[in-house]
Amino acid sequence: MVCRNINFTNVCYVGCSFCGFARHQDDTAEAYDHPMEAILAKCRDAVARGASEVCIQGGIHPGKDHTHYREILEVIKAEFPKLHVHAYSPEEIDFGHRKSGMELSDYLRWLVDAGLGTMPGTAAEILDDSIRQVISPNKLRRARWIEIVEAAHGIGLPSTSTVMYGHIETDRHVAEHLELLRSIQKRTGGFTEFVPLGFIHEKNVLFNHMGARPGATAPEDLRLVAVARLFLRPWIRNVQMSWVKMGPKLAQLALDAGCNDFGGTLMEESISRESGADHGENLPAEEMRRLIREMGRTPVQRSTTYRILRRFDDAAQDPPSLEPTRPRELSGPTRWRLLEERKAATGR
Ligand code: SF4
């Protein structure tokens, strides 16, 4: 899927121990709170690069309320009525809903009326309160996550589903988490996909000060994909890998382990990067097609809700890249660099 992440603010008071993204609002050197024009500029760039979706999530900014979430939707939809807006984790929904004073389903409908298309099933981490109490004691609890997701599905607002594994949880916690997601899906049918998210450890408190392990091993990553595929079918039909967490080569292997979805191109990614992930922020569509073809598969472009938008049966017929051109960098013998300079000067 061609999409763009937009994190509209990194100011957050929740304090999850696994999060390297959040900043205190007084941290003026690094905290940001993008104005609407900056959000629109990112949407324009996304559309120019072929995006069908923008994914909007941010920190929980203590100075905002429910109206801010709706205003972002209204502003985007006014300029891009066809752009799918996938936005607001259950944590953000919880915050906005509590500020709104509305019934939960009314609040969700109020956002849908303004243009909310689907909801990320993030803020799930491990849906066990004994784990949540340690890794993010201020975050919404299991029952509230379920209440919000079921209310969303109940009004026809689909969501993804996720797990974050490889920190302090045990296999039992992951198994119970999968069972919970499967049972919700049996009731609502509202999950579009399941996305396992490996814990990124390098730069956060959970690993550096609280004794969590440094993420899952590669075999664990692949086993979870395989188990999820077997355990969740036929109720959750799509299992997506995270190339940001796994890296593109392990993501290729995940296709053979049970994934059918390579996720989004993202264009911009801060949440994993700021916790230490180093697999990049942008996976151009042409690069994703190459990785998929190398595994003997045929790439297709999909919408957020898994409608096939385009098939790419023949690499020779692929469309030109919509990515901005960047100067190539060659390192090595001087004659190589002279070659590049000559090409830049003469075009040959
Ligand atoms: S994970 Fe989300 S809610 Fe938790 S501290 Fe980071 S930005 Fe805030």
Taking only the tens place, the pLDDT of each residue in 117-162 is 999 999 999 999 999 999 999 999 999 999 999 999 999 999 999 9
Identify whether the C-beta of residue 152 lies closer than 8 Å to the C-beta of residue 119.
Answer: yes
Question: 18 CB under 6 A from ligand 1?
Answer: no
Confirm or reject: Cβ of 60 under 6 Å from ligand 1: yes
Which one has a higher pLDDT value, 245 or 327? 245
Q: What percent of the chain has pLDDT over 90?
A: 89
Instruction: Judge if the beta carbon of residue 200 lies within 6 A of ligand 1.
Output: no
Identify whether the C-beta of residue 314 lies closer than 8 Å to the C-beta of residue 320: no
Pick the residue whose CA is nearest to atom 2 on ligand 1: 59
pLDDT digits (tens, 9 = 90+) for 70-125: 999 999 999 999 999 999 999 999 999 999 999 999 999 999 999 999 999 999 99
The finding on whether 20 has its CB within 6 A of some atom of ligand 1 is no
Q: What is the DSSP string of 28-93?
A: TTT--B--HHHHHHHHHHHHHTT-SEEEEE----TT--HHHHHHHHHHHHHH-TTSEEEE--HHHH
| pLDDT reported for residue 337 | 82
CATH number at residue 218: 3.20.20.70
pLDDT at 40 over 80: yes
Question: 103 CA to middle of ligand 1, Å?
Answer: 24
If one counts every other C-beta atom within 10 angstroms of the C-beta of residue 263, the result is: 20
- pLDDT beyond 90 at 340: no
Q: Is 59 in the pocket of ligand 1 (CB under 6 A)?
A: yes
Residue whose Cα lies nearest atom 3 of ligand 1: it is 14
Atom of ligand 1 nearest to the CA of 13: 8
* Tokens describing residue 82: 């066809």
pLDDT at residue 249, rounded to an integer: 96
The domain containing residue 294 runs over which residues? 3-346
pLDDT at 232: 98
Mean pLDDT, the chain, integer: 96
pLDDT digits (tens, 9 = 90+) for 248-275: 999 999 999 999 999 999 998 888 888 8
Cα of 74 vs centre of ligand 1, distance in Å, is 24
Q: What is the pTM of this model?
A: 0.95
> For the segment 196-223, what is each residue's pLDDT rounded down to a tens digit?
999 999 999 999 999 999 999 999 999 9
Mean of pLDDT values over 302-329:
93
Using alpha carbons, select from 338, 183, 193, 343 the residue that is nearest to residue 262. Answer: 193
| Confidence category of residue 9, pLDDT binned at 50, 70, 90 | very high
Tell me the pLDDT band of 339, cut-offs 50, 70 and 90: confident
- The average pLDDT across 52-77 equals 98
Look at ligand 1, atom 7, and give the residue with the nearest C-alpha.
59
Tally of domains in the chain: 1
- Best residue for ligand 1 mutational test, from 8, 21, 126 (most atoms within 8 Å of Cβ): 21
Cis peptide preceding 158, ω within 30 of 0: no
Least trusted range by pLDDT, from 166-180, 253-267, 310-324, 334-348: 334-348
Q: What is the pLDDT of residue 251?
A: 97
Q: Is 14 in the pocket of ligand 1 (CB under 6 A)?
A: yes
Is residue 327 over pLDDT 80? no
Task: Compute, in angstroms, the gap from residue 7 CA to the centroid of ligand 1.
Answer: 12
